[in-house]
Amino acid sequence: MRLGSVNLRVVSDGTYWEDGGGLFGLVPKALWERVMQPDERNRLPFQQRSLLIETPTQRILVDTGYGDKLSEKERGFVSLEGERRLLSDLEKAGIGASAVDLVINTHLHGDHCGGNTRYDRDGKLVPTFPRATYCIQRLELADAHFPNERTRGTYLQENFEPLERAGQVRVLWGDTQISDEVRVMVTPGHTRAHQCVVVESEGKTAAFLGDLASWPIHIERLAWVPAYDIEPMVSIETKRSVARWAVEKKVLLFFEHHPEVAAGYLFATERPDRFRLEPVEVGAQ
């Protein structure tokens, strides 16, 4: 789809499954199962969307999914099928890995940056996108290098250290203008330095939310905070600020993980803590 002079394309690294309790935290199951029914193992499907931003001068990829490095046991745990999922989706659009100029990681959890790196023919970990500069927040990189008991299961060195060794990391210090049309804004809560990616062109605005709001319900109802969010109250206030901005600016919001809704516009309701999303078809404005 077009956004001013920019082309936006949703690509995917496939679907995986996780326990519904993680996605909804303290929200009782009697409430959240009205949003989507879990399977017999209490799991819900998670889409792994990435956003390909094609500006007049660059191709920018936002997030890279799990990638192809998981062991058979790890893949079975999240029911992840197939290989080269993201790369195959890009190739269908006529874009090879070497055609990507920048990769922006919203954060460094494994389901968002596992595709940053891959094994080459010699079994060495190398950047998946050989020409790309990878843009990562300084504080996020620090937290990933020194994880704690809660985060060490998802901050995996193999997803970012090979990038550093290859000299392909650009460390960002807070909100940053990446190009004329693309900027990042730090949106703490899920992690301390989670960032959203904003595209602005010819008076139109879009934003890729990452895990600021994994599913639309998380920004429609501010109090619905996933168990994964490191700073729950910070997450609520960040979502409040972003939601008000999205309503005022008529921002097209992209959702990374909902299995069906890829994008939509947010509207205010009579309650200050609740909003309403109207989904749109990707490819239509």
Per-residue model confidence (pLDDT) at position 282 = 86
pLDDT, block means (10 residues), the chain with 285 residues:
96 97 97 97 97 97 97 94 95 96 98 98 97 98 97 96 98 98 98 98 98 98 98 98 98 98 98 96 67
Return the closest-CA partner of residue 52 out of 206, 164, 266, 157: 206
Per-residue model confidence (pLDDT) at position 200 = 98
- Owner of token pair 């290098």: 145
230 forms beta bridges with none
12 forms beta bridges with 49
CA 168 to chain centre: 20
Regarding pTM above 0.95, the answer is yes
Per-residue model confidence (pLDDT) at position 283 = 63
CATH superfamily, domain 2-21+38-211+247-260, is Ribonuclease Z/Hydroxyacylglutathione hydrolase-like (3.60.15.10)
Checking DSSP bridges between strand 204-208 and strand 195-201, what pairing results, if any?
antiparallel
Handedness of CA 161, 167, 170, 173 (dihedral sign): positive
- DSSP letters, 133-148, are EEEEEHHHHHHHHS--
Return the closest-CA partner of residue 182 out of 12, 40, 61, 45: 61
Is 195 in contact with 240 (CB distance < 8 Å)?
Answer: no
DSSP annotation of 224 reads -
Q: What's the length of the chain? A: 285
CA 30 to chain centre: 27
The two three-digit tokens of residue 111, written as one number: 């389901």
Per-residue model confidence (pLDDT) at position 161 = 98
